[in-house]
Structure 1
């Protein structure tokens, strides 16, 4: 390694007229004969995304073990049984609005998997795996015909028929013919519901001892409509099942046992908190009450009559079977599991519980044998904590020994049945934002990643090192707020700052519990743990995280609130030091909050941008503005949180991005007024900055992002604008000139330059409003774009990229301010935040040669 002495100039000289600026010899970084390669692969290292809160927005394939669920306008795939704990494997992009319904279609032996998805965009998309063993899917067909949002899909796993229910009050019957080279689709029938209702639940099955099909449909009425069709004929309405007193959210139908000609059991779950079971038998007569059955009289009183179902070949009847009581709130989903002669029903409810029901043979009564979820008095101090709002989805895993549930926070929880202990044990699930991700920021040393967004949460992500394996997980949820969060940055290794729509900023300190957890699971050490508070909680009806601490000999105090519930004691907070797995969702929501250290006041409108200096001494902020008075940049010191006056004025509209240079000498700002401004540190008063340069016409439309290049390249910065240009600017003496322009068919919304020079080249990542991600290699000193790499469409987000952030080198010298360290990693890591609610971490493989 060769390094020029620190006194070597890092400026550029002014070029002659008509020439590109040529820097004087730079402080070179020699990469041991490694070179930048032309073939680059973008690998999804980590995807964090929350599930859509819709009862039909997920399905679990019993053959492959793959779980697919709606995530904003994408379809996410996950292998819950994966021993590597890699989380979400892929996001299928194609829909233009929220995905409400997801189902697996039964593929023939040797055929690739097929996923069906229905969306608010009024279409059903068909996704087919690229091969029989692939987890990558392609959109192969689109079903159109509904005039409103599609809310439910029904599939029978032994046929080629699918059913779609829409908010246009129609049910459409489709046939799918899977061929070797594609899929043919055909609309067979369109059913107008009468009386009109929105189909929220559909169940399709073959009738006993025949090839006739039965279709149950329900929704925004308290009744279930039964349709029957013989093979090759249309579905005809045959019966209406009444009894529920609220909307029916879910239907599930199955054989009673595995014997041929077995009766069918239909379950209906409603917002009236009850589950009703209905029996479909072959023949006209209803089953008689067993002699000695103590519930015989009750059952007959609840059963109105035997409904007759007629086809061209057979006759059937459907009768009321049982009423299941136990949930205390709306029931969103129900699902059968049949194995040998054991039949179980899984229900998910808004009362924060998952229940498993089974028939007690001795009494003939359906009883709740297991209840999972949150059944304690403590439900969380805000609606964002815990699962307040309940579980929206409950699914059986293959074999019936695993169940998963989706809660209000968009996170999946998983339970595995332990035969040795004869109980259900919680496993590692997945989590993510449920609305747009507004901002991401790395810790100063690159050890963990922070994200924040419109779902009013701030999340901390880090890599879990376990048994020679490495996987990324959400390790803490520092902030759960009552306002949409817009921006975040790391002040120091143990302190962060975030801005929201509430017009002020909040500073948080890392608690000792999180520091211990990151040290134990991720090898991230903190030298100041003794000075950290234990943990934090949110007071009832409050927005400020309060520090919680306790001495070793202190007695826990339990206080009752106005509702009589027990308040959590300090001993309940934080993670045990010997925990061997990432926190579960209930632990994330309650026990990983960061205590609030300070509030920063001064802005009159919603916070739009925040940036902390690299030495952590200053915080720069801005807010939404339509006038000069509010479009100012405010600076705060991190020692006493004093605002430095006067505020920095240059813009006339909202400042959209702020960025300190690597040595904190300059502060760059860009805004909706199409201009950029550079403020220089005052030598006499280092905490003050003064306007040095401004360009009122930096772009022809608003500027949305900006960043600085490594100091080794000179005083170089980039701006990205709505005018579909990314401009690279060079500042020397009193002149700032544009030296490189990157153009795109779509508006640019994000830009970031890798914080190191790689063989005298800048690696620039750019993102657009259509989700395109590109890498541009700019060679110095000629300032020519040597290479361009584009992210494939299949890996792109469905909506605009809101932020890009390169991970700093994980080298000790970087933390000490030495930037001329040889890269210690072969792959570069790039974090991406998107409006489609996804946070993605890419490993850029192959950019550097070994």
Structure 2
């Protein structure tokens, strides 16, 4: 029996103000992560991070909302997506923190951007880019059924971006009149009302609230805790940098200020703050809506506004593109709404605003169930967390989570097995490692080693302190671990690193440059003299990283954990497509995208001099998709889009020289996407993976390699990886497919017969194509015991996929 569990999921959040929600009862935060939904418990002592990804949508998730059934108390999760559907997930009875798909609501003809729910109501509202709002009634029996009540076209036409639903009465009567606020790509807020009854559940437009001067991105209702009559407060956050508060009062409002056609103090100008009362009638009662307050202080668009769920505190949390998270509270004496706390960064980077085309700042802010923690979604897709410290009466930053926000194109373990590198189309390379403390272990991002200007495609390690990466540019870059990161890994992960004297200092990106230079380089000193770059300040800020007792926060990751660039490797004419490093770290093999034999070559670089070993190796006519060295470095295998594989043999006299040994121009019937060498044998064995939905096992026979067995799978195979060592006389091979499925196979050493071992459950598998697989090597150089050894109990498999997630699976009882 094989047991497969998920040890670690690193994934970034979708940058959408409505793409996250924090449930009060389960204490679970759910957020959209590409076309999946990630589940995280921010207040868990284990600091595990994302513990599950819900797979089901076919496109990016825009909106996430928790819902509690007023009749049964069942917990539902509602998610809306660019795929035009709303999916409903029901909490698992055996584990309430896991969710299973219950039903799908269809009908919208555009991307779903907003969902509104209300406590005690069985009606939900959804808004989409088809310019309509739909209302649905949810029924829970044995299953979940969503009944469409009506579709409301927005007039004049606009796209709804923010919805908020509220019950007008909280008196427990059978009739529950509902109010719905709608806003979006317009500067007004529309108010709809309905009696929530079997005979009349339909909404009608009853008021239009004007005053904003930009799109309204977020709406949120709450019950006014200061009101004796149960008034509602509605907060509307806008791109005009302001938040407006509106009061919904039962009964008529007497206007204390006489209405005149013209106020002499205004000189005939239109007053910008009006207190017009909008009258609403429903369920036999009259209601009035009036402007309550204008909240200002942000320097850029306000993306979200949410009310504190704590019944004792009436506070509003707003997230803005100016990199601030603000808590607003009403002064008890004057009634004026004021800023009581501001977190984040205020005007840190000049010009980095929405006005200059930047999509920066905080996209969303959420309260914890008890109102004592807040989280914010930053522009990098990472979550920042703050916790209220009653002793100091201040908000203190805590440990959030982070991850890639675009396809993860490459992963690689360092040679000691201590940390994992991942590189992505989001133009970053990240270092993941375990945080070991007090008998507890959890995985975290420890360093953002590379921040690039091009999408990154491939990566490999050069020993435990260096890596090389290739991107959508014509060169490769080599990076060295800086001293503070080496110390951090040593202190928090029990990883022994080389002595400080062998490591460079910290790095930063120089002015007008793409390369991460070591602080103290001549180039940076010239920048300091010419541009006033604060080199000393940067170095002083980075040094304390090595003294941290926890993994770095997002601010530190983004600024102070870069690895200095050591070398650039030139020679290719197009985007880099593959890179591989020999096991003795003396050679780097690379390839680039190609449509002709002239560019479909393999270039070798000697790591002692960083010079290219000429001439390049020629065998292919189209792009080479994968490269790998055999474990003894005697052979180099290449596969490509031209359906062929080629094996190059190393010269015994000149170790840096390879020559073509053999090739097979019809290795697969369609393009070959992946390749891997088996552990060392007298007669070498390798595997190839093809678009033809097969994996072929090849063994050396004389001066060539013959196909000995074929593994037929259901989908094109995109990635392969052999476990480094033999287990009971057999190989272990992992194969990843372009639908996200991962299968494990046992291959006999003698006969090369294949036995299917296991397929990772769809519920914990990636939802898009696997880009790379990497078994964790046997861990060396650890102080004390560490998990993940290649032994009889457990091995670990790292997986990169196009669904933006980096996953780590623990596979146990392989040998039973």
**TM-score per shorter chain, which class?**
over 0.9
CA distance in 2, matches of 1:561, 1:738: 62
In structure 1, what is the equivalent of residue 562 of structure 2?
593
Structure with the greater relative contact order (CA < 8 A, sep ≥ 6): 1 or 2? 1
Q: Please give the secondary structure, in 2, of the residue aligned with 1:369.
A: strand
CA contact (8 A) 2:70 2:121 kept: no
CA contact (8 A) 1:227 1:237 kept: yes
For residues 538-570 of structure 1, the C-alpha deviation after alignment (integer angstroms, 9 at most, x for no partner) is 1233210010159xxxxx999699799999432
The answer to whether the 8 Å contact 1:382/1:541 transfers is no
User: Which residue is 1:476 aligned to?
Assistant: 447
Change (3 A) 1:380 1:793: farther
2:623 to 654, 670, 677: 654
Matched, 1:254 2:222: yes
User: Of 672, 678, 683, which residue of structure 2 is paired with 1:709?
Assistant: 678
Shift, 1:362, TM fit: 1.6
Would you say 1:90 and 2:52 are equivalent positions? yes
Pairwise CA distance, 1:209: 5.3
Offset, 1:826 = 1.6
Displacement of 1:134: 3.1
* Structure 2 residue 166 is the aligned partner of structure 1 residue 202: no
Q: Secondary structure at the match of 2:370?
A: helix
Q: In the alignment, which of 411, 418, 437 is matched to residue 466 of structure 1?
A: 437
Match of 2:805 among 810, 820, 838: 838
- What secondary structure, in the 3-state scheme, does the structure 1 residue paired with 2:546 have? coil
| Structure 2 contact 778–789 (Cα < 8 Å) conserved | no
Deviation, 1:467, is 1.1
1:657-702 Cα distance to aligned partner (Å, 9 max, x none): 0000111111000000000001111111110100001000000100
**What is residue 407 of structure 1 aligned with on the other side?**
378
Contact kept, 8 Å, 1:56 with 1:101, in 2: the verdict is yes
1:273 alignment partner, one of 241, 245, 250: 241
Relative to structure 1, the CA distance from residue 713 to residue 172 in structure 2 (aligned partners, 3 Å threshold; closer, same or farther) is farther
Alignment match of 2:665 (pick from 696, 711, 714): 696
Map 1:599-618 to 2 at 5 A.
Answer: 599-618=568-587
- Runs of 4 or more, structure 1, over 6 Å off, are 297-301, 379-383, 556-567
- Cα distance, 1:811 vs structure 2: 4.1
Q: Which shows bigger deviation, 373-382 or 166-175? A: 373-382
Q: Give the counterpart of 1:214 among 179, 182, 186.
A: 179
Residue 522 of structure 1 and its aligned partner are, at CA, apart by 0.2
| Deviations 1:783-814, CA, capped at 9 Å, x for gaps | 2223431111111111111111111111469x
TM-score (norm 2): 0.93
The alignment partner of 1:372 has SS state of strand
Aligned pair count reads 789
Residue in 2 aligned with 1:369? 340
Q: Distance in 2 between matches of 1:462 and 1:278?
A: 48
CA distance in structure 2 between the aligned counterparts of 1:590 and 1:737, rounded to whole angstroms: 51
CA contact (8 A) 2:68 2:74 kept: no
C-alpha deviations, 1:48-94, integer Å up to 9, x for none?
00000011000000111100000000011000011001110111111
The secondary structure found in structure 1 opposite 2:545 is coil
Does the 8 Å CA contact 1:258/1:341 hold for their aligned counterparts? no
Tell me, yes or no, if structure 1 residue 69 matches structure 2 residue 36: no
| d(CA) in 2 for partners of 1:287, 1:406 | 41
When structure 1 is superposed on structure 2, of 522-531 and 798-807 the one drifting more is: 522-531
RMSD of equivalent CA atoms: 2.5
Specify every segment of 5 or more residues in structure 2 that has no aligned partner in the other structure, as ranges.
Answer: 258-264, 783-787
Aligned 8 A contact 2:223 2:231 in 1: yes
Secondary structure, counterpart of 1:427 in structure 2: strand
TM-score relative to the length of structure 1: 0.89
Q: Which of residues 728, 745, 752 is equivalent to 1:759?
A: 728
Q: Judging changes above 3 Å, is the alpha-carbon distance between structure 1 residues 759 and 330 closer, same or farther for their aligned structure 2 residues?
A: same
Which residue pairs with 2:262 in the alignment? none
**In the superposition, relative to structure 1, how do residues 508 and 405 fare at CA in structure 2: closer, same or farther (>3 Å)?**
same
1:164 pairs with 2:131: no
Rounded to whole Å, the distance in 2 between the matches of 1:559 and 1:302 is: 49
Q: CA deviation at 1:361?
A: 1.4
Identify which of 2, 14, 22 aligns with 1:60: 22
Measure the CA separation in 1 of the matches of 2:353 and 2:679: 43
- What's the counterpart of residue 227 of structure 1? 192
Q: Which residue of 1 aligns with 2:261?
A: none
2:752 corresponding residue in structure 1: 783
Show the counterpart of 1:339. Answer: 310
> In the alignment, is the contact (CA less than 8 A) between 1:251 and 1:269 conserved in 2?
yes
Query: Which secondary structure does the structure 2 equivalent of 1:134 belong to?
Result: coil
Match status 1:191 vs 2:152: yes
Gaps of 5+ in 1: 1-38, 290-296, 551-555, 814-820
Q: Which residue of 1 aligns with 2:209?
A: 241
Counterparts in 2 of 1:720 and 1:100: CA distance versus 1, 3 Å: same
CA distance in 1, matches of 2:169, 2:256: 19
Write the deviation string for residues 394-443 of structure 1: whole angstroms up to 9, x where unpaired.
00111110000111101011111010111111111111000000010110
Structure 1 position 338, deviation (Å): 4.6
Shift of 1:500: 0.4
Contact 1:830–1:843 (CA under 8 A) maintained in structure 2: yes
Counterparts in 2 of 1:230 and 1:112: CA distance versus 1, 3 Å: closer
Q: Which moved more, 1:347-356 or 1:709-718?
A: 709-718
Cα shift at 1:639:
1.1
- The CA distance in 1 between the partners of 2:311 and 2:587, in whole Å, is 66
Cα distance in structure 1, aligned partners of 2:353 and 2:750: 55
